[in-house]
Every structure is written in C-alpha cells, then in structure tokens.
Structure 1
Amino acid sequence: MMTPARPPQPPCNPAVAGEWKGERGHSWTGWGDPYNAFWCCYGSGVESFSKLADSIYFHRTVNASAAAGVAAAAADAPPELFVNQLVTSSLEWKQQGVVVNQTADMYGPESAARARLVITTADEAGTAHFVLKWRIPAWTDPTAALVKVDGRNASCVPPAPVEGVADSGAQAFYCDLGPEWKSGDVVESFFPFKSRVESINDQRPENSRLKAVLVGPWVMAGVTDGKRNITADPRSIDTLLSMPSSADLVSLRPFTLERGMQNEGPILLTRHAANATLLAVPHPQSPSRAAAMDATFRLVPGADGACSDGSQGVEGGPLLTPGRCVSLEPMGHPGQRLRQQHDGSLTVVAGAGAGVSPSVFTVAACSEPGNLCLLGASAGDKAGASPSIHLLAPAAPQYPLGSRVLKGLDSQYLLVPIGQIIDEHYTTYFEFLDPPAAVSM
C-alpha cells in the first residue's frame, strides 16, 4: 500500500522567532542530506529557481492576420520587449536581430536599485524598431524613480488609480521606450527603495501586532535568538531604519600576563542564553557565518568621549588610532556594548539604560610592531597596566548585503534580506509595541 507523500513544508515557522533554516526542533525537515533526507520539495525548489530566468524578459509581436477587425494602425504596431526584472543578464532576440546586455546592482549604498541595459543591433544600418517596456516595480516610489535613454530622462507616468480598487495607484506598471533604436543605445534606471510593514495574515488577537518589515523588493529577517518586541510606531518605518557601516569591524583575542608571560585566549564571540548575553568560545569545528558574525564587533566612539584612563583621548580621525577611546558593539546585536567586569571578565550589556554602563577602552600599540590592542578597565577602576585585548582582522569582514538596523525606543535589531540568511537565528515578524504617548505641555 502506498503512503501519500507528505506535503513540503517551509524549513521554519515564519511566525516563530529565534529559529534558523536548518533547525529540526521546529521543522520536520531541517537540512537534508544526499542519501537519507533528500526531501521532495528540494526538486521543485531547484526547478523554481532555475526558471527565474524565464521571467527576466518577454517579447510580444502583433500578428497582422490576427488583427482583423482591429484598426489598421494596430496591425502595424511595433514588436515589444518587456524588461521585467533587474538581473545582470544577456538576451539575444533573434527575430529582431537585437542583443541586449543588462547589468544590475540591488545592493548599492543609496538604498536603491540601479540597472543599465545596452542595445546592440545586427542590422547593417545599426538600427532596430521595437518598443522597450521597462517595468516600474511597486516597491519603488514612481515619483522618485528615474529611467533614462542615452542620458535623457524618459517620461514614465503611472496609471491613474481606479475608483473603488484599493491600492490600484500603487501597482507596478511599464514605461514605454522607443520605438526607434540604434546600436549602442543605453537605458538606465534608478529605483529608490520604499520601506514598509505588512501585518501577518492571522486574525487571532494575540498576533495583531506582528508585522514584517520590507525594504524595496526584500522581506527583512531580524537576527535574534528569540526576542522580537520593539517599541516603535510602524507607520514611521522610514525613520526607524538605517544602513550599518562595515568600517571599523574587528575580532577580539584577550590575553593576560602570568609570571611575565602572555597567555592568549580564544577569539571571543557573543552568545545569548536565557535572555542574557554572554561571551563564549566559538566551536572550532563548526565554522559558519553566524559564528563569524558572533565573533565580530564594531568599534564605536566611547561614551561622552572619556577613555578608560579618564582622559579625553585623541579626537578625530579613524577609530583604529592609538589614543582613541572606543566602545565595542556586537555585529549582530546593534545597540549592545561590551563591558569588562571587576574581575576582568567580559560580558555584553545594553548600550543605554538598564542601569549598567558599557566599558570604554583605549586603543594602544601592542608589544608586537604593527599590532593594536585595547587597554581595558574593570568597572569603576582605572585602566590596567597592560593591554588586555588584541585587535584582529574581523571574522566577518562586512555586514550581509542589504543589511539595515531597525531602531526602536527600547531595542535594536540587525535586519538582513531573508534570501541572504544562511545559518543565523532570525525572525520574519516583529511585535510592534505602542510608544508612550507624548506629554503635552
């Protein structure tokens, strides 16, 4: 007797915070393997991705014989080439003797998508006759979007809203370009990302505050080990998001002096357990991007400009300069800071509030030429007499592409496009809590 195949399920419940894509605890699949756990949905998934290229371009040609009864002008309508997706790609349109080459960048520093398409014709005269229909996606602001042909702005007018149809004026549409082209013509587009939130499709009252954050075409996943509350007004999502800088990223290796000898410890990384952030040692046999991010910190200016020895330190210039006073923020947990305890041990605390202040360290030259260290101080004490932490090249050299920081009144999250998530623990929904009402004077 045949057992019906179990329907494919997503690797994680999207409404649960703190899972990762390969976890079996909340998913019957988890990651598969080539022999004992190759799930049927892998085949359909691979097929789906391989077919994405089918939808970058479409073409349409009006057939004169099929245009019987239509105005004669319609029968003479030029062929159309649709550009649906911004993907670096090439297309040979054999029927028209045209080749187009597109380059696209979705991860630029401007929070926008850029694309450039070059047209090459095989015609002896170097010309072609067709309408290029360039898609203006719904995730950009059509009033700020730009499409240019050979450096000149094209007129791309969105359709008028349809009365009685919700959001009809905010849908994607096509901008018609051409129809006369010559070899070497260049089409460029610039689409600023719109930021927005969408409520979870769940009518239960306990989930009424859950919302996903979207930036341009991406659903953003928040890096978290379980927490997802944020006190903020989701209607002001544009003001809550910022782009993190990959400058001044470092990894840390503490060392101590015992009997005049330097004892180097393992590279530090952050780990969350029972709502407390701890520092631990990465597992040497399980390298992953999540571990690399946990082992990476960002130097930020010290609070109030005061260094660990009470001085004001060197002002201006790079943070990786001897004499600068700095704090350290875990890469995956913006808003938190490293703190050195009275016994010299290290932990991570909230950057502000919570009654515990972070430590401010002084950048100093190590005994080894060319290396930098941090001079630390136990809570409430002056700086130690010797360097306590070596600064190393960052285990994760940059934030994942497309990252943002979501900042509320009480917490911050690193957001990553969900397609860029590998093995980080994350949530796709945040519980937005109402900020306290402003006190009127």
Structure 2
Amino acid sequence: MGQVLLMFPPRPDQREAFRLLGSLTFFYAVAAIESFSKLGDSIYFEEEGGAAPTLYVIQFISSTLNWRSGQITLQQNTQEVSSLDSHFRVQFTVASVNKVIQQHEFKSPSTSSTLNIRVPIWTSKSGAVATINGQSVAVPSPGETAVMTSDSQEELVQPFPLMMVGNVLSITKAWSSNDLVNLSMPIGLRTEAIQDDRPEFSSLRAVLFGPYLLVGLSSGESDMGKQDVLEGLSDWILPVPDDHRLQLVSLTQESCGGTKFLSGLNASGIGATRLLTMAASPKLGTNAAAQATFRLVYTDQKAAPQVASREDVIGRVVLLEPFDLPDKVVRHQGAGKGLVISVTGDVPQNGTDSVFRVVKGLDGNSTTISLEADSTPGCFVHHDCVSGDGVGLVCPANDADRNSTAFRTAASFTFGKGLSGYHPISFTAKGTKRSFLLQPLLSLRDETYTTYFNIGV
C-alpha cells in the first residue's frame, strides 16, 4: 500500500524535489493510510462517567449516528465548501429514538444529554454564528460562558461555553425530535511553515483554506516570490470565479487513425516556451488531461456566454488559457511556425499574436470550429498529422490551397467540454514567473503538484 501512495505526485522520479517539496516518504505514506481509515470511525466520541451522557463531534462529515446512551439519533449535514464562500456551514438534526432504545432494554430516557461540537483552530470567533431551533446564540470571547434558558424541553440545564476557538460549542438539554443546531464558521486562507528549523527551508510554506490543504498543479515549480504571508493573502490568492468554470473546452481531431487532443503537454516549465501538439486521448485525472483543457477568455466587448457551446462561441474573439497555467495564453509566431504557450504579461498590449477568431469549421462539419488568427486574417491554426504532432499557423498561398479538402480538414477541430474542471475549492496564486492553480490535495488523482512553496523571498 505504501508503494502505491509513493507513486502519487509530486514527481517520484525526482527524489530531492520529492522530499523537499512536501511529498510523502514511505513513513508518511503508511501514516496517511491509517489516517484515511479513521475518517469513518473518528467522527464521534462518547465521554463516560459524567452527570449526563456526552457526545463529542470531532469531524464535520455528513453522517447519521444512533447515540444509544444519549437516546437520540443525530444527523449531520455539511454544506459543500466553496472558495467563493467565506463560511463553513454544518447542521445537526436531532430525533428521539426512545422506543428503539426501550426495545433493547435500555434504561428509561434521561432528562438531558450534552452535545459538544468541536470548534476548529482554523476558524475565528468574529463572524461565527450558532443557532438552536432558529434562536441565535451569543458568541462570547474565549473563556466566557453564556446561558440560554427557556421553558420545558428548551431548557439548557447548565451554563456552557458557546464558542471558544480550538475548543467546543457545548449544549446540554433535553432533546426533542427535529431539534436543529446550525453552525456557521468563518473559513479563509492561511499558510503554515514546513516543520524544519534549518534556515534554508524557512521560506517553505503550505497554503490552506480552512482545513483543506491546497496544492498547485506543476512539474515541481514552487517560487511564489515576495508575497505577504501574514496579511493580504487574498490580494494574491484569488478564488476562481463561477463564470470561469463554464468556459473550459477541449479541441480534438480525428487524424492518423485516432482521436488527438490539442495539448500544451509538459508546458509547465518555468522560463520555457513550449510548442503545442496534438496528443493521444489522455486519461482523466492526469497531467495530460489538464494540459488538453483550455479556458476561453473573451476579448471582444460582448458578454461571455453562460456556457461555452459551439453555437455561442462562433464569431467570438478569444484567448486560449491553459487550464493548469493561469495567466498564460496560447500564441502564434507567424505563418508556418508552431503555436506556443507564453506568459500573459509578455503579450503585446493589442494582443495580436494571442487572439483568435472562432469561425465555423472549414470542413463544413456541424460539430467543428476553426481558429483564425485575428492579426492575420485568412491564416488558421492547423495540424497535419502526416507532418507530425506539431500545431502551427498556416496561411494558404492561393484559392486552390485554401479550398483543398486536406487544408480544411487540418484546420478544423471538434469543439467539446474540457477534460479537466475546477474543483469547488479552487484558487489562482500569483508566483514570481508563473501563476499556480491551487486545488485541494484530496481532489487530485494522478496529476503532479507542489505542496510547499517558497513564499516571502
């Protein structure tokens, strides 16, 4: 099992980077296996010997617990976390199970039981909201206590600390069916330094969003430069907007006996200009799938379509941004030369060599599009498999060449949905020489990534 995890990225063929950039050694791989196995059995813990049955909620995972000693059924529902939402939300629904317990010859129901909900260290008191059956609960400073009392079933039988960061929200009461406890906690970006006191590693930091470890899709790059790690993280780490999620596309051709994808394969290198290619159909959850996915960036004055469909993009003027390389774009180098990926900042102000006009496929197929260079009308993105996998800009010399079946086929691409997609928790982080797409480690499959970044140097 450890060897399987060791095959996960970042790149196992680069042992030094594998060690320094936060990847798993065999020891940590074994620990990771054990940790994952505890996700199902370490959500709830019971405390014995107290005045009333006490339950601790340690993990926020949607689940249902039949708590026999507390004589209730507890249903936990966590709302999906998004990088566009500044709060983490969880709801607990309580239902009486007295009849079930009595069938198992348990003692008669006690008058009350205690529910202790963990308040994690990654949140803050400011902006935290707790309610019980819709009634707001005051959030005191750490160390203070508060009491909420009401008639009969709603009575809280003892004072309890409502919110202490790193502690618990504690509620003791006689529960009834359909009682609702809602908790909304602030969630945000933070960094943690690597656990290594050697000076040469003092700048290595991981980026987290609440409890989620974020990693950057990369081939080993880690330099984020002189960024502020104490304040202002939101100035240079930005959530991926909703409209970006609907503009991811892949472009394919049926050529040389198979389906080929327009790809910036291995285009993650720093300071390198990489030629675009037509690559074999990639497996999902791999570098190849990410590098065969592009975001359409519209440069004309029209509003972006809600979804990037073929019909809606015909006639639009666009940039092609690689999925795994935010702020980089595809550009041409002139007639007869290959297409490359270049940093956005290097593009001229008028963007002439990176702007393409989407037109109906020259082959006349209802599912294809062609990309015409905006700077040189009549010149099209072109791939001829006979000449290899390279993708270039071709300007036909005459009408015969322009109207030939071979040219029209080679300049037409099937328009489809992107092979990769943004996780609900997705950010772009600006680095020194490139930007990084940050997503939760748990969302990746076989992509390579960076865990620890050089920040503040």
On whether the aligned pair clears a TM of 0.5, the verdict is: yes
Task: Tell whether 2:321 aligns with 1:325.
Answer: no
The secondary structure found in structure 1 opposite 2:249 is strand
Alignment counterpart, residue 429 of structure 2, candidates 401, 406, 411: 406
The secondary structure found in structure 2 opposite 1:131 is strand
Q: CA RMSD in A?
A: 3.8
Shift in Å at residue 52 of structure 1? 2.7
User: What amino acid maps onto 1:198 in structure 2?
Assistant: E
CA contact (8 A) 1:11 1:22 kept: no
| Number of the residue aligned with 1:3 | none
Q: Give TM-score scaled by structure 2 length.
A: 0.71
User: What's the CA shift string for 1:145-182, capped at 9, x where partnerless?
Assistant: 22222222223434249xxxxxxx98511112241321
Aligned-residue sequence identity (percent) comes to 26
Cα 1:127–1:408, aligned 2, differ >3 Å: closer, same or farther?
farther
| Number of the residue aligned with 1:68 | none
The secondary structure found in structure 2 opposite 1:54 is coil
Shift in Å at residue 351 of structure 1? 0.9
| Number of the residue aligned with 1:279 | 276
- Counterpart-to-counterpart distance in 2, 1:8 and 1:160: 46
Cα 1:224–1:128, aligned 2, differ >3 Å: closer, same or farther?
farther
- Counterpart-to-counterpart distance in 1, 2:281 and 2:449: 23
1:79-98 mapped onto 2 (5 Å cutoff)? 79-98=53-72
User: What's the CA shift string for 1:185-208, capped at 9, x where partnerless?
Assistant: 122222231211122233333323
Shift in Å at residue 216 of structure 1? 0.6
Alignment counterpart, residue 301 of structure 1, candidates 298, 301, 304: 298
Cα 1:55–1:158, aligned 2, differ >3 Å: closer, same or farther?
farther
CA contact (8 A) 1:272 1:278 kept: no
Q: Give TM-score scaled by structure 1 length.
A: 0.73
The secondary structure found in structure 1 opposite 2:41 is helix
- Counterpart-to-counterpart distance in 1, 2:5 and 2:181: 39
User: What's the CA shift string for 1:274-314, capped at 9, x where partnerless?
Assistant: 64233234344765432211111111122xx3xxxxxx6x5
User: What amino acid maps onto 1:172 in structure 2?
Assistant: G
Cα 1:176–1:286, aligned 2, differ >3 Å: closer, same or farther?
closer
| Number of the residue aligned with 2:389 | none
Cα 1:58–1:295, aligned 2, differ >3 Å: closer, same or farther?
same
| Number of the residue aligned with 1:227 | 221
Task: Tell whether 2:287 aligns with 1:290.
Answer: yes
- Counterpart-to-counterpart distance in 2, 1:280 and 1:413: 22
CA contact (8 A) 2:10 2:220 kept: no
- Counterpart-to-counterpart distance in 1, 2:183 and 2:441: 25
Cα 1:266–1:348, aligned 2, differ >3 Å: closer, same or farther?
same
Alignment counterpart, residue 339 of structure 2, candidates 312, 321, 346: 346
| Number of the residue aligned with 1:239 | 235
Shift in Å at residue 21 of structure 1? 4.9
Shift in Å at residue 250 of structure 1? 0.2
Task: Tell whether 2:122 aligns with 1:139.
Answer: yes
1:157-168 mapped onto 2 (5 Å cutoff)? 157-160=140-143
| Number of the residue aligned with 2:35 | 48
Alignment counterpart, residue 202 of structure 2, candidates 190, 200, 208: 208
User: What amino acid maps onto 2:442 in structure 1?
Assistant: G
Shift in Å at residue 102 of structure 1? 1.2
- Counterpart-to-counterpart distance in 2, 1:194 and 1:113: 9
The secondary structure found in structure 2 opposite 1:282 is strand
Task: Tell whether 2:394 aligns with 1:394.
Answer: no
The secondary structure found in structure 1 opposite 2:260 is coil
The secondary structure found in structure 1 opposite 2:265 is strand
Cα 1:119–1:265, aligned 2, differ >3 Å: closer, same or farther?
closer
- Counterpart-to-counterpart distance in 1, 2:294 and 2:264: 9
| Number of the residue aligned with 2:327 | 335
- Counterpart-to-counterpart distance in 2, 1:286 and 1:9: 18
| Number of the residue aligned with 1:249 | 248
Cα 1:96–1:212, aligned 2, differ >3 Å: closer, same or farther?
closer
| Number of the residue aligned with 1:114 | 89
Cα 1:192–1:41, aligned 2, differ >3 Å: closer, same or farther?
closer
Aligned pair count reads 379
Cα 1:48–1:214, aligned 2, differ >3 Å: closer, same or farther?
closer
Cα 1:201–1:48, aligned 2, differ >3 Å: closer, same or farther?
closer
CA contact (8 A) 1:268 1:295 kept: yes
CA contact (8 A) 2:75 2:93 kept: yes
CA contact (8 A) 2:125 2:165 kept: no
CA contact (8 A) 1:269 1:295 kept: yes
- Counterpart-to-counterpart distance in 2, 1:413 and 1:158: 37
Cα 1:141–1:102, aligned 2, differ >3 Å: closer, same or farther?
same
| Number of the residue aligned with 2:159 | none
Structure 1 stretch 203-212 or stretch 277-286: which is displaced more? 277-286
User: What's the CA shift string for 1:19-48, capped at 9, x where partnerless?
Assistant: 815725428x99xxxxxxxx8987765443
- Counterpart-to-counterpart distance in 2, 1:429 and 1:188: 35
CA contact (8 A) 1:98 1:128 kept: no
Cα 1:127–1:368, aligned 2, differ >3 Å: closer, same or farther?
farther
Cα 1:80–1:48, aligned 2, differ >3 Å: closer, same or farther?
same
| Number of the residue aligned with 1:176 | 170
Alignment counterpart, residue 372 of structure 2, candidates 376, 379, 386: 376
The secondary structure found in structure 2 opposite 1:359 is coil
| Number of the residue aligned with 2:391 | none
- Counterpart-to-counterpart distance in 2, 1:40 and 1:210: 21
Structure 1 stretch 390-399 or stretch 184-193: which is displaced more? 390-399
CA contact (8 A) 2:11 2:220 kept: no
User: What amino acid maps onto 1:49 in structure 2?
Assistant: F
Alignment counterpart, residue 57 of structure 1, candidates 44, 66, 84: 44
Cα 1:409–1:54, aligned 2, differ >3 Å: closer, same or farther?
same
Shift in Å at residue 91 of structure 1? 0.6
| Number of the residue aligned with 1:153 | 136
User: What amino acid maps onto 2:434 in structure 1?
Assistant: S
Alignment counterpart, residue 101 of structure 1, candidates 75, 84, 87: 75
CA contact (8 A) 1:131 1:177 kept: yes
